[in-house]
């Protein structure tokens, strides 16, 4: 049972345009959502997160939107740069501070390719 | 922040043998976790490494196959026992800091032949 799903295995965009990566979840107990970027031969690197009490969080070129009723979140990257080319993972957890925070449930990942 | 070092970074092992992966953090952390990423798959949590006590395993993972130690707040080991080709994966150490930030190591790439 895949509790976190990223239905697009890959996404290709032109440099300077917007990249939109999508993620759906099924478990209503998730309170906190994170996006990680992973380059080959490296561990995942934290990008941005959002709590279930918010619907938007922004950090520079990265914005995450959460639609709790639809159990859907998306990561927007504007403008996209060739260095953004990587695998992007959506992850879900309980709220920070809880005893089980840190146990992440990951989606399958989306390979983003940004063309110059 | 937390800097995580994993050893070995890569290894090729014979089936039936065991390999121990080490995770060292440069500062004391609240929690340590071990994940597995099989080829073409997502990251899956194996267990939470508990300091001074037995690890807490997720469904589908057992202590006999993946014994874990955490003797202090900065170090943990994961052993992959009696390996088969299906154990070929990236094994990742993850930590949660006091500031509730989650970091990952660079992973240990294991190939079983």
Domain limits, chain A: 4-115
Confidence band, pLDDT 50/70/90 cuts, at residue B99: confident
Answer whether residue B100 shows pLDDT above 90: no
Q: Nearest-CA distance from B105 to chain A in Å?
A: 5
pLDDT score, position B70: 96
For residue B8, say if its preceding peptide bond is cis, omega within 30 degrees of 0: yes
pLDDT score, position A33: 95
Locate the chain B residue with the closest alpha carbon to A41: B106
Q: Per DSSP, what are the bridge partners of residue B72?
A: B75
Answer whether residue B110 shows pLDDT above 90: yes
CB contact under 8 A, A44 and B41: no
Answer whether residue A99 shows pLDDT above 80: no
Answer whether residue A41 shows pLDDT above 90: no
Answer whether residue A21 shows pLDDT above 80: yes
Q: Report the sign of the C-alpha dihedral through residues B3, B48, A49, A7, in that order.
A: positive
Residues on chain B touching A32 (C-beta within 8 angstroms): none
pLDDT score, position A34: 95
| CA–CA gap between residue A43 and residue B3 (Å, rounded) | 12
Helix (H, G, I), strand (E, B) or coil at A82: helix
What is the CATH classification number for the domain harbouring B101? 2.60.40.10
CB contact under 8 A, A89 and B42: yes
Report yes or no: A104 and A34 within 8 Å, Cβ to Cβ.
yes
In this predicted model, what pLDDT tens digit does every residue of B11-55 receive, in sequence order?
A: 999 999 999 999 999 999 989 999 999 998 899 999 999 998 899
For residue A18, say if its preceding peptide bond is cis, omega within 30 degrees of 0: no
Q: Best residue in A3, A5, A44 to probe B by mutation, most B CBs within 10 Å? A: A44
Tally of domains in chain B:
1
CB contact under 8 A, B100 and A101: yes
| CATH class given for the domain over A4-115 | mainly beta
> What is chain A's mean pLDDT, rounded?
94
**Residue-range definition of the domain harbouring residue B74:** 4-112
What are the backbone dihedrals phi and psi of residue A94, each rounded to the nearest 5 degrees, phi first? Answer: -80, 170
Q: What is the mean pLDDT of residues A3-30?
A: 96
Helix (H) or strand (E) segment spanning residue B37 = strand B31-37
Chain B within 8 Å of A40 (Cβ-Cβ)? no
| A74's tokens | 């998306």
Answer whether residue A97 shows pLDDT above 80: no
pLDDT score, position B40: 86
Answer whether residue A104 shows pLDDT above 80: yes
What are the backbone dihedrals phi and psi of residue B86, each rounded to the nearest 5 degrees, phi first? Answer: -65, -15
In this predicted model, what pLDDT tens digit does every residue of B57-67 receive, in sequence order?
A: 999 999 999 99
Q: Per DSSP, what are the bridge partners of residue A92?
A: A33, A105
Q: What is the mean pLDDT of residues A36-63?
A: 94
Which of A41, A91, A103 is opposite residue B48, by nearest beta carbon?
A: A103
In this predicted model, what pLDDT tens digit does every residue of A61-83 receive, in sequence order?
A: 999 999 999 999 999 999 999 99
Q: Nearest-CA distance from B57 to chain A in Å?
A: 11
- Give the count of Cβ contacts less than 8 A between chain A and B: 50
Interior angle at CA B24, CA A96 and CA B92, nearest 5: 65
Task: Dump the DSSP string for A2-43.
Answer: -SEE---SEEEEETTS-EEEEEEE--TT--EEEEEEE-TTS-
Which of B4, B43, B96 is opposite residue A106, by nearest beta carbon?
A: B43
């Amino acid at each position: 049972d895949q509790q976190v799903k990223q239905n697009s295995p890959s996404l290709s965009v032109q440099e300077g345009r917007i990249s939109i990566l999508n993620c759906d979840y099924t478990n209503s107990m998730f309170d906190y959502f994170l996006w990680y970027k992973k380059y080959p031969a490296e561990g995942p690197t934290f990008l941005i997160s959002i709590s279930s009490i918010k619907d938007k969080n922004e950090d520079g070129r990265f914005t995450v939107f959460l639609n709790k009723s639809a159990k859907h979140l998306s990561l927007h990257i504007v403008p996209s740069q060739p260095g953004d080319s990587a695998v992007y993972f959506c992850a879900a957890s309980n709220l920070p501070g809880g005893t089980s925070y840190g146990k992440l449930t990951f989606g399958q990942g989306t390979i983003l390719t940004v063309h110059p | 922040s937390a800097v995580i070092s994993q050893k070995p970074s890569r290894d090729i092992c014979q089936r039936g043998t065991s390999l121990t992966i080490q995770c060292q953090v440069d500062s004391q952390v609240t929690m340590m976790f071990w994940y597995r990423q099989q080829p073409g798959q997502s990251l899956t949590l194996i267990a939470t490494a508990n300091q001074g006590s037995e690890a807490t395993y997720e469904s589908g993972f057992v202590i006999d196959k993946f014994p874990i130690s955490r003797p202090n707040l900065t170090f943990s080991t994961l052993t992959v026992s009696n390996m088969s080709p299906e154990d070929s994966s990236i094994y990742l150490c993850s930590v949660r800091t006091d500031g509730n930030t989650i970091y990952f190591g660079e992973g240990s790439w294991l190939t079983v032949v």
